[in-house]
Structure 1
Amino acid sequence: MEVKFGITDIAREVTIETSSAPEEIAEQIRRAVVESSIVDLTDDKGRRIMIPATKIGYVDLGASATRAVGFGTV
């Protein structure tokens, strides 16, 4: 699934692809915001992304984007 973070004072959003469940990510973000801690996620490539909850402007939990291969119609 694709997760987009809008960070305050930064014009560009942070986007990651992860195989975690949307409910799991939403709960981790909620907890971090309440505790004013850090959101700590790992993407599909094994990279670790850490974002201070106090700097999060918005979060967009989107569906997994499947990429079409070839020139056929879908």
Structure 2
Amino acid sequence: MEIRIGIVNAPRELSFESSQSAEELAAQVEAGLTSGTGVLKLTDDKGRLYVVPTAGIAYIEIGTEESRRIGFVG
């Protein structure tokens, strides 16, 4: 699952892949935003931990699982 996080006043977004489902990620994001700790913690499919301050989040986009295309698309 692809996750993209827009950061306020930053020209680029944070983008990574996760092995969790969309429902699991949405629940984790909601819990992080409402917990009051001030940070959102997410882990990618390689085990790296991303800690993002919730005050700086502009948006969070959780993509769908899509198989990669091989070859030319006409």
- TM-score scaled by length of structure 1: 0.81
Q: Note the residue ranges of structure 1 that are not aligned, 5 or more in a row.
A: none
Percent same amino acid among aligned pairs? Answer: 36
Amino acid in the other structure paired with 1:43: D
One-letter code of the match for 1:54?
A
* Cα contact 1:7–1:57 (8 A) shared by 2: yes
Q: Distance in 1 between matches of 2:36 and 2:55?
A: 6
C-alpha RMSD over aligned residues = 1.6
Gaps of 5+ in 2: none
Contact 2:32 2:41 in 1 (8 A): no
Offset from partner CA, 1:6-51 (integer Å, 9 cap, x none): 0111110001100111111111211221223321111112211111
User: Moved runs in structure 1, 4+ residues, more than 2 A?
Assistant: 68-71
Partner of 1:48: 49
Match of 1:15 in 2: 15
Amino acid at match of 1:66: S
Q: What is residue 24 of structure 2 aligned with on the other side?
A: 24
